[in-house]
Amino acid sequence: MKLQSVLFVCLGNICRSPLAEGIARDLCKKNNWNLQIDSCGTSNFHRGESPDSRSIAVAKSHNIDISMLQSRPINVYDDMDFDLIIAMDSHNKKDILALGFPPQKVKKLGEFGNNEDIPDPYYYQNNEGFEKVYNLIESLVSKMFTAYQ
């Protein structure tokens, strides 16, 4: 399959999936790939909010700006056309599949590594957890693109 679009999904769309979106957009820009990249959440807890300030800070420390992104919930009607829907953890993947997305389109980001879940850094007390999550996402997004290029 020739990959043309990727949707990254976590719970609230303020920590992990915006980081994945920013990393993926950065890789696309550096490699001159013309792909549609977006992110959303399985919940609407943070609809319209900017990413968590700690996600913005860790992305910025890697020269990626995600400050303009806004949280939105996944929508089976609007998001069905994405070629690949990437869940950050097993629970997100289960929720996405329960909405009726085709199983062949839905993967967990960890499937491009050791099948690990990307931990939610929202409750971490410091930026160290966000840095660890950033590095894990960056590694797995690179592997994902390698698998589909």
pLDDT digits (tens, 9 = 90+) for 68-82: 999 999 999 999 999
Per-residue pLDDT at 76: 95
Choosing from 10, 26, 72, 95, the catalytic residue is 10
100: phi then psi, degrees, rounded to nearest 5:
105, 10
Looking at residue 107, its pLDDT comes to 98
Round to whole Å and give the CA distance between 64 and 60: 5
40 part of the active site: no
User: What does the pLDDT look like over 91-135, one tens digit per residue?
Assistant: 999 999 999 999 999 999 999 999 999 999 998 877 889 999 999
Domain extents for the chain? 5-148
Pick the CATH number of 5-148 from 3.40.50.10260, 3.40.50.2300, 3.10.20.600, 2.160.10.10: 3.40.50.2300
Which candidate in 15, 16, 25, 89 is catalytic?
16
Q: Is 10 a catalytic site residue?
A: yes
Residue 2 confidence (pLDDT):
84
Token digits of residue 115: 């099948």
- Supply the pLDDT for residue 112: 98
Find the catalytic residue in 38, 52, 89, 120: 120
- Catalytic residue at 16? yes
The average pLDDT across 132-149 equals 95
According to the model, what pLDDT value does residue 121 have?
A: 95
The predicted-structure confidence for 10-67, as pLDDT tens digits, reads as follows 999 999 999 999 999 999 999 999 999 999 999 999 999 999 999 999 999 999 999 9
Query: pLDDT value at position 126?
Result: 75
